[in-house]
Protein backbone atom coordinates (compact mmCIF):
# COMPACT_ATOMS: atom_id res chain seq x y z
CA UNK A 1 0.00 0.00 0.00
CA UNK A 2 1.22 3.49 -0.81
CA UNK A 3 1.59 5.52 2.37
CA UNK A 4 2.61 9.01 3.41
CA UNK A 5 6.19 10.01 2.53
CA UNK A 6 8.50 9.84 5.55
CA UNK A 7 12.13 10.22 4.57
CA UNK A 8 14.25 10.96 1.52
CA UNK A 9 16.41 7.87 1.20
CA UNK A 10 18.34 6.01 -1.44
CA UNK A 11 17.73 3.08 -3.74
CA UNK A 12 19.81 0.05 -4.73
CA UNK A 13 19.57 -2.12 -7.84
CA UNK A 14 19.88 -5.61 -6.40
CA UNK A 15 18.51 -8.06 -8.97
CA UNK A 16 17.90 -8.51 -12.69
CA UNK A 17 16.02 -11.01 -14.81
CA UNK A 18 14.92 -11.45 -18.39
CA UNK A 19 12.98 -13.73 -20.68
CA UNK A 20 12.68 -13.98 -24.46
CA UNK A 21 10.39 -15.98 -26.74
CA UNK A 22 11.63 -19.28 -28.15
CA UNK A 23 10.92 -18.43 -31.82
CA UNK A 24 13.84 -16.75 -33.56
CA UNK A 25 13.32 -14.79 -36.78
CA UNK A 26 16.56 -14.17 -38.68
CA UNK A 27 17.23 -11.56 -41.34
CA UNK A 28 17.28 -14.33 -43.93
CA UNK A 29 13.85 -15.47 -42.72
CA UNK A 30 12.54 -11.92 -43.18
CA UNK A 31 13.89 -11.93 -46.72
CA UNK A 32 11.22 -14.57 -47.50
CA UNK A 33 8.51 -12.07 -46.56
CA UNK A 34 9.73 -8.63 -47.76
CA UNK A 35 12.35 -7.43 -50.22
CA UNK A 36 15.30 -7.18 -47.88
CA UNK A 37 18.48 -9.06 -47.06
CA UNK A 38 20.84 -9.81 -44.19
CA UNK A 39 23.56 -7.53 -45.48
CA UNK A 40 21.26 -4.44 -45.68
CA UNK A 41 19.75 -5.04 -42.25
CA UNK A 42 23.08 -5.74 -40.52
CA UNK A 43 24.88 -2.77 -42.08
CA UNK A 44 22.03 -0.28 -41.41
CA UNK A 45 20.97 -1.51 -37.97
CA UNK A 46 23.37 -4.12 -36.52
CA UNK A 47 20.44 -6.53 -36.14
CA UNK A 48 20.90 -10.18 -37.13
CA UNK A 49 17.81 -11.76 -35.57
CA UNK A 50 14.86 -11.03 -33.29
CA UNK A 51 12.50 -13.13 -31.15
CA UNK A 52 8.76 -13.38 -31.80
CA UNK A 53 6.15 -14.71 -29.35
CA UNK A 54 4.52 -17.89 -30.65
CA UNK A 55 1.10 -19.45 -30.05
CA UNK A 56 2.06 -21.13 -26.75
CA UNK A 57 3.56 -17.98 -25.20
CA UNK A 58 2.26 -14.64 -23.94
CA UNK A 59 3.75 -11.32 -22.91
CA UNK A 60 2.38 -11.63 -19.37
CA UNK A 61 4.04 -15.04 -19.04
CA UNK A 62 7.33 -13.62 -20.39
CA UNK A 63 7.09 -10.66 -17.97
CA UNK A 64 6.45 -13.03 -15.07
CA UNK A 65 9.50 -15.13 -15.97
CA UNK A 66 11.69 -12.02 -16.11
CA UNK A 67 10.25 -10.70 -12.83
CA UNK A 68 10.63 -14.03 -11.09
CA UNK A 69 14.30 -14.28 -12.14
CA UNK A 70 14.96 -10.78 -10.73
CA UNK A 71 13.29 -11.72 -7.43
CA UNK A 72 15.39 -14.88 -7.31
CA UNK A 73 18.65 -12.99 -7.89
CA UNK A 74 17.68 -10.49 -5.18
CA UNK A 75 16.85 -13.41 -2.86
CA UNK A 76 13.43 -11.96 -2.07
CA UNK A 77 10.27 -13.65 -0.87
CA UNK A 78 7.52 -12.46 -3.30
CA UNK A 79 5.38 -11.48 -0.29
CA UNK A 80 7.85 -8.74 0.64
CA UNK A 81 7.38 -6.73 -2.59
CA UNK A 82 5.49 -3.43 -2.35
CA UNK A 83 5.29 -2.50 -6.04
CA UNK A 84 5.23 -4.23 -9.43
CA UNK A 85 5.56 -1.54 -12.08
CA UNK A 86 5.27 -2.85 -15.61
CA UNK A 87 6.36 -0.70 -18.54
CA UNK A 88 4.67 -1.83 -21.73
CA UNK A 89 2.85 -0.42 -24.74
CA UNK A 90 1.55 -3.82 -25.80
CA UNK A 91 -0.24 -5.39 -22.82
CA UNK A 92 -2.20 -8.64 -23.11
CA UNK A 93 -5.12 -6.62 -21.73
CA UNK A 94 -5.65 -2.89 -22.39
CA UNK A 95 -6.97 -2.47 -18.84
CA UNK A 96 -3.49 -3.40 -17.62
CA UNK A 97 -1.23 -6.42 -17.49
CA UNK A 98 0.64 -5.78 -14.23
CA UNK A 99 -2.01 -7.30 -11.90
CA UNK A 100 -1.90 -10.55 -13.93
CA UNK A 101 1.88 -10.60 -13.59
CA UNK A 102 1.54 -9.86 -9.88
CA UNK A 103 -0.70 -12.92 -9.54
CA UNK A 104 1.79 -15.12 -11.46
CA UNK A 105 4.62 -13.90 -9.26
CA UNK A 106 2.70 -14.33 -6.02
CA UNK A 107 3.59 -10.80 -4.92
CA UNK A 108 0.34 -10.68 -3.00
CA UNK A 109 1.03 -7.51 -0.99
CA UNK A 110 2.24 -5.41 -3.91
CA UNK A 111 0.32 -2.80 -5.84
CA UNK A 112 0.77 -3.50 -9.54
CA UNK A 113 0.09 -1.22 -12.49
CA UNK A 114 1.20 -0.52 -16.06
CA UNK A 115 3.08 2.50 -17.33
CA UNK A 116 3.24 3.39 -21.02
CA UNK A 117 6.08 5.40 -22.51
CA UNK A 118 6.99 3.22 -25.53
CA UNK A 119 10.74 2.59 -25.83
CA UNK A 120 11.43 4.99 -22.93
CA UNK A 121 9.03 2.99 -20.75
CA UNK A 122 11.57 1.11 -18.67
CA UNK A 123 13.56 4.24 -17.86
CA UNK A 124 10.39 6.17 -16.94
CA UNK A 125 9.20 3.23 -14.79
CA UNK A 126 12.57 2.89 -13.08
CA UNK A 127 12.49 6.55 -12.09
CA UNK A 128 8.83 6.38 -11.04
CA UNK A 129 9.47 3.36 -8.81
CA UNK A 130 12.50 4.98 -7.17
CA UNK A 131 10.31 7.90 -6.06
CA UNK A 132 8.25 5.56 -3.84
CA UNK A 133 11.42 4.00 -2.45
CA UNK A 134 13.23 7.26 -1.84
CA UNK A 135 10.27 8.97 -0.18
CA UNK A 136 9.99 6.14 2.34
CA UNK A 137 6.53 4.90 1.38
CA UNK A 138 7.83 1.59 -0.04
CA UNK A 139 10.77 -0.73 0.57
CA UNK A 140 10.94 -3.11 -2.40
CA UNK A 141 9.91 -2.68 -6.03
CA UNK A 142 10.06 -4.80 -9.12
CA UNK A 143 10.27 -2.85 -12.38
CA UNK A 144 9.56 -4.82 -15.54
CA UNK A 145 9.92 -3.66 -19.14
CA UNK A 146 8.15 -5.89 -21.66
CA UNK A 147 6.84 -5.53 -25.19
CA UNK A 148 5.38 -7.61 -27.97
CA UNK A 149 5.78 -5.28 -30.92
CA UNK A 150 5.50 -8.28 -33.26
CA UNK A 151 1.71 -7.97 -32.84
CA UNK A 152 1.73 -4.37 -34.04
CA UNK A 153 4.38 -4.28 -36.75
CA UNK A 154 3.31 -4.15 -40.38
CA UNK A 155 5.17 -7.27 -41.50
CA UNK A 156 4.92 -6.09 -45.11
CA UNK A 157 6.68 -2.76 -44.41
CA UNK A 158 10.39 -3.45 -44.81
CA UNK A 159 11.28 0.03 -43.52
CA UNK A 160 10.09 -0.86 -40.02
CA UNK A 161 9.50 -4.62 -39.64
CA UNK A 162 13.21 -5.46 -39.63
CA UNK A 163 13.79 -3.47 -36.45
CA UNK A 164 11.50 -4.94 -33.82
CA UNK A 165 11.29 -8.02 -31.62
CA UNK A 166 9.67 -9.25 -28.40
CA UNK A 167 11.16 -9.60 -24.92
CA UNK A 168 10.98 -8.81 -21.21
CA UNK A 169 13.48 -7.67 -18.60
CA UNK A 170 13.21 -6.80 -14.92
CA UNK A 171 15.10 -5.06 -12.15
CA UNK A 172 14.61 -5.47 -8.38
CA UNK A 173 15.01 -2.24 -6.41
CA UNK A 174 15.46 -1.84 -2.66
CA UNK A 175 15.17 1.28 -0.50
CA UNK A 176 18.46 2.18 1.22
CA UNK A 177 19.87 4.95 3.35
CA UNK A 178 20.69 8.18 1.46
CA UNK A 179 24.45 7.55 1.64
CA UNK A 180 24.05 4.18 -0.11
CA UNK A 181 21.99 5.66 -2.95
CA UNK A 182 22.67 3.91 -6.26
CA UNK A 183 20.51 6.22 -8.38
CA UNK A 184 22.67 9.27 -8.83
CA UNK A 185 20.39 11.29 -11.06
CA UNK A 186 17.97 11.38 -13.96
CA UNK A 187 16.32 13.61 -16.54
CA UNK A 188 13.09 12.75 -18.35
CA UNK A 189 11.61 14.53 -21.36
CA UNK A 190 8.68 14.30 -23.79
CA UNK A 191 7.68 16.36 -26.81
CA UNK A 192 4.25 15.42 -28.13
CA UNK A 193 4.50 17.99 -30.92
CA UNK A 194 7.01 15.68 -32.64
CA UNK A 195 5.06 12.48 -31.93
CA UNK A 196 3.85 11.93 -35.50
CA UNK A 197 7.12 10.34 -36.63
CA UNK A 198 6.51 7.16 -34.61
CA UNK A 199 3.12 5.94 -33.51
CA UNK A 200 0.68 3.10 -33.15
CA UNK A 201 -2.60 4.96 -33.70
CA UNK A 202 -6.14 3.96 -32.95
CA UNK A 203 -8.24 2.98 -36.00
CA UNK A 204 -10.16 5.94 -37.42
CA UNK A 205 -13.22 3.83 -38.13
CA UNK A 206 -16.74 4.79 -37.06
CA UNK A 207 -19.86 2.67 -36.79
CA UNK A 208 -23.53 3.62 -36.40
CA UNK A 209 -24.62 3.60 -32.76
CA UNK A 210 -28.25 4.81 -32.67
CA UNK A 211 -30.02 7.21 -35.03
CA UNK A 212 -27.74 10.21 -35.66
CA UNK A 213 -24.87 8.98 -33.45
CA UNK A 214 -21.78 6.90 -34.16
CA UNK A 215 -18.96 5.38 -32.17
CA UNK A 216 -15.32 4.71 -32.90
CA UNK A 217 -14.32 1.08 -33.35
CA UNK A 218 -11.74 -0.52 -31.10
CA UNK A 219 -8.32 -1.59 -32.30
CA UNK A 220 -5.17 -0.03 -33.59
CA UNK A 221 -3.35 0.34 -36.88
CA UNK A 222 0.16 -1.09 -37.28
CA UNK A 223 3.24 0.90 -36.25
CA UNK A 224 3.86 3.94 -38.46
CA UNK A 225 7.41 5.23 -38.46
CA UNK A 226 9.47 7.84 -40.25
CA UNK A 227 12.81 6.12 -39.64
CA UNK A 228 15.02 8.98 -40.70
CA UNK A 229 13.24 11.47 -38.42
CA UNK A 230 13.44 9.08 -35.46
CA UNK A 231 17.12 8.50 -36.19
CA UNK A 232 17.86 12.26 -36.27
CA UNK A 233 15.87 12.75 -33.04
CA UNK A 234 17.84 10.00 -31.28
CA UNK A 235 21.32 11.13 -32.30
CA UNK A 236 20.48 14.73 -31.33
CA UNK A 237 18.55 14.30 -28.07
CA UNK A 238 20.30 11.32 -26.46
CA UNK A 239 23.78 12.92 -26.36
CA UNK A 240 22.20 16.23 -25.26
CA UNK A 241 20.31 14.73 -22.31
CA UNK A 242 23.30 12.59 -21.27
CA UNK A 243 25.64 15.56 -21.44
CA UNK A 244 23.31 17.65 -19.30
CA UNK A 245 22.99 14.89 -16.71
CA UNK A 246 26.75 14.27 -16.55
CA UNK A 247 27.37 18.00 -16.17
CA UNK A 248 24.80 18.38 -13.37
CA UNK A 249 26.48 15.56 -11.43
CA UNK A 250 30.04 16.60 -12.39
CA UNK A 251 30.82 13.19 -13.87
CA UNK A 252 33.33 12.86 -16.72
CA UNK A 253 32.31 10.45 -19.51
CA UNK A 254 35.61 8.61 -19.03
CA UNK A 255 34.66 7.67 -15.47
CA UNK A 256 31.61 5.72 -16.70
CA UNK A 257 31.99 1.96 -16.64
CA UNK A 258 29.18 1.35 -19.12
CA UNK A 259 26.88 3.12 -21.54
CA UNK A 260 23.53 1.29 -21.53
CA UNK A 261 21.28 2.76 -24.20
CA UNK A 262 17.92 1.70 -25.56
CA UNK A 263 18.84 -0.88 -28.20
CA UNK A 264 17.31 0.63 -31.35
CA UNK A 265 20.11 0.70 -33.91
CA UNK A 266 23.85 -0.01 -33.56
CA UNK A 267 24.59 3.17 -35.53
CA UNK A 268 22.76 5.21 -32.86
CA UNK A 269 24.75 3.48 -30.09
CA UNK A 270 28.03 4.15 -31.93
CA UNK A 271 27.12 7.79 -32.62
CA UNK A 272 26.40 8.45 -28.93
CA UNK A 273 29.64 6.73 -27.88
CA UNK A 274 31.61 8.78 -30.44
CA UNK A 275 30.08 11.99 -29.13
CA UNK A 276 31.57 11.30 -25.66
CA UNK A 277 34.73 9.52 -26.84
CA UNK A 278 33.57 6.38 -25.08
CA UNK A 279 35.26 3.23 -26.46
CA UNK A 280 32.80 0.83 -28.13
CA UNK A 281 33.95 -1.86 -25.64
CA UNK A 282 32.13 0.11 -22.93
CA UNK A 283 28.86 0.25 -24.88
CA UNK A 284 26.52 -2.59 -23.98
CA UNK A 285 24.82 -4.03 -27.05
CA UNK A 286 22.79 -7.14 -27.74
CA UNK A 287 20.52 -5.88 -30.48
CA UNK A 288 22.15 -8.19 -33.01
CA UNK A 289 20.32 -11.03 -31.24
CA UNK A 290 17.06 -9.37 -30.19
CA UNK A 291 16.49 -6.21 -32.26
CA UNK A 292 14.49 -3.42 -30.66
CA UNK A 293 12.31 -4.94 -27.91
CA UNK A 294 10.99 -1.48 -26.91
CA UNK A 295 10.52 -1.19 -23.11
CA UNK A 296 12.48 -4.42 -22.61
CA UNK A 297 15.81 -3.46 -24.20
CA UNK A 298 17.55 -1.86 -21.19
CA UNK A 299 16.73 -4.48 -18.52
CA UNK A 300 17.28 -7.33 -21.02
CA UNK A 301 20.75 -5.97 -21.75
CA UNK A 302 21.54 -5.25 -18.10
CA UNK A 303 20.56 -8.78 -17.08
CA UNK A 304 22.81 -10.29 -19.74
CA UNK A 305 25.79 -8.13 -18.73
CA UNK A 306 25.29 -8.80 -15.01
CA UNK A 307 25.03 -12.55 -15.58
CA UNK A 308 28.04 -12.81 -17.90
CA UNK A 309 30.13 -10.83 -15.42
CA UNK A 310 30.73 -7.66 -17.45
CA UNK A 311 28.82 -5.46 -14.99
CA UNK A 312 30.25 -5.71 -11.46
CA UNK A 313 28.90 -4.39 -8.16
CA UNK A 314 29.77 -0.69 -7.90
CA UNK A 315 29.97 -0.10 -11.66
CA UNK A 316 28.75 3.31 -12.81
CA UNK A 317 26.27 3.11 -15.69
CA UNK A 318 24.84 5.88 -17.85
CA UNK A 319 21.57 4.82 -19.41
CA UNK A 320 19.25 6.47 -21.89
CA UNK A 321 15.87 5.50 -23.28
CA UNK A 322 14.19 7.15 -26.27
CA UNK A 323 11.31 6.55 -28.62
CA UNK A 324 7.69 7.23 -29.42
CA UNK A 325 5.96 10.14 -27.76
CA UNK A 326 8.41 11.49 -28.54
CA UNK A 327 9.92 10.58 -25.20
CA UNK A 328 13.47 10.32 -23.94
CA UNK A 329 15.54 10.50 -20.81
CA UNK A 330 18.70 9.46 -19.03
CA UNK A 331 19.70 8.01 -15.69
CA UNK A 332 23.00 7.56 -13.89
CA UNK A 333 23.14 4.61 -11.55
CA UNK A 334 25.44 2.13 -9.86
CA UNK A 335 24.75 -1.59 -10.02
CA UNK A 336 24.85 -3.00 -6.51
CA UNK A 337 23.77 -6.63 -6.96
CA UNK A 338 22.30 -8.94 -4.34
CA UNK A 339 23.22 -8.17 -0.72
DSSP state of 216: E
Q: Which of 52, 105, 119, 326 binds ligand UT7 (CB under 6 A)?
A: 119
Minimum Å distance from CB 232 to ligand UT7? 9
Continuous segment of H or E residues that includes residue 27: helix 27-30
Q: Is 195 in the site for ligand UT7 (CB under 6 A)?
A: no
Q: Which stretch binds ligand UT7 (CB under 6 A): 140-148, 187-195, 220-228, 302-310?
A: 220-228
Q: Residue 11: CB partners within 8 Å, gap ≥ 6?
A: 130, 133, 134, 173, 174, 175, 176, 181, 182, 183
- Are the C-beta atoms of residues 255 and 316 closer than 8 Å to each other? yes
Give the other-Cβ count within 10 Å of 322's Cβ.
26
CA angle 328, 334, 338 (to 5 degrees): 120
Q: Is 292 in the site for ligand UT7 (CB under 6 A)?
A: yes
Q: How far apart are CA 331 and CA 170, in angstroms?
A: 16
Q: Which of 48, 104, 139, 158 binds ligand UT7 (CB under 6 A)?
A: 158
Instruction: Report, in angstroms and rounded to the nearest whole number, the Rg of the chain calculated over CA atoms.
Output: 20
Q: Is 336 in the site for ligand UT7 (CB under 6 A)?
A: no
Q: Which of 42, 44, 139, 271 binds ligand UT7 (CB under 6 A)?
A: 44
Q: How far apart are CA 81 and CA 291, in angstroms?
A: 31
Give the other-Cβ count within 10 Å of 39's Cβ.
9
Q: Which stretch binds ligand UT7 (CB under 6 A): 54-62, 209-217, 223-231, 326-334?
A: 223-231
3-state class (DSSP) for residue 233 = helix
- Are the C-beta atoms of residues 331 and 260 closer than 8 Å to each other? no
Minimum Å distance from CB 116 to ligand UT7? 14
Instruction: Mark residues 62-91: x for contact with ligand UT7 by CB under 6 A, - for none.
Output: ------------------------------
Q: Which of 178, 228, 280, 312 binds ligand UT7 (CB under 6 A)?
A: 228
Q: Which of 49, 110, 117, 264 binds ligand UT7 (CB under 6 A)?
A: 264
Q: Which stretch binds ligand UT7 (CB under 6 A): 154-162, 180-188, 211-219, 283-291?
A: 154-162
Q: Is 152 in the site for ligand UT7 (CB under 6 A)?
A: no
Q: Which of 195, 227, 253, 313 binds ligand UT7 (CB under 6 A)?
A: 227
Give the other-Cβ count within 10 Å of 74's Cβ.
25
Closest-approach residue to ligand UT7 (CB): 227
Minimum Å distance from CB 269 to ligand UT7? 11
Minimum Å distance from CB 35 to ligand UT7? 7
Q: How far apart are CA 107 and CA 99, in angstroms?
A: 10
Minimum Å distance from CB 58 to ligand UT7? 23
Q: Which stretch binds ligand UT7 (CB under 6 A): 6-14, 34-42, 103-111, 300-308?
A: 34-42
Q: Which of 16, 18, 20, 45 binds ligand UT7 (CB under 6 A)?
A: 45
- Work out the burial of residue 133: count CB atoms within 10 Å of its CB; fewer than 13 is exposed, 13-18 middle, 19 or more buried: buried
Q: What is the DSSP string of 249-270?
A: TT--GGG-SEEEE--S-HHHHH
Residues in contact with ligand UT7 by CB under 6 A are 36, 40-41, 44-45, 119, 158-159, 162-163, 225, 227-228, 230-231, 264-265, 292, 323
Amino acid sequence: MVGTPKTIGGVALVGTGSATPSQQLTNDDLGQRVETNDSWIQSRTGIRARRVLGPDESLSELSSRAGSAALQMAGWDPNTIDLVLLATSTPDDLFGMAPKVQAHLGTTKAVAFDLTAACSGFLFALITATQFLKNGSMKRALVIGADQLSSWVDWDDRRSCVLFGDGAGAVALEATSPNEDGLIGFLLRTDGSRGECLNLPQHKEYFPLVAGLSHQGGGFSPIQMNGQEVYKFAVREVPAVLEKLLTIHEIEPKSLDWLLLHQANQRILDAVADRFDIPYGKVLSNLSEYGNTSAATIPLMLDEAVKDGRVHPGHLIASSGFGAGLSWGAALFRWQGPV
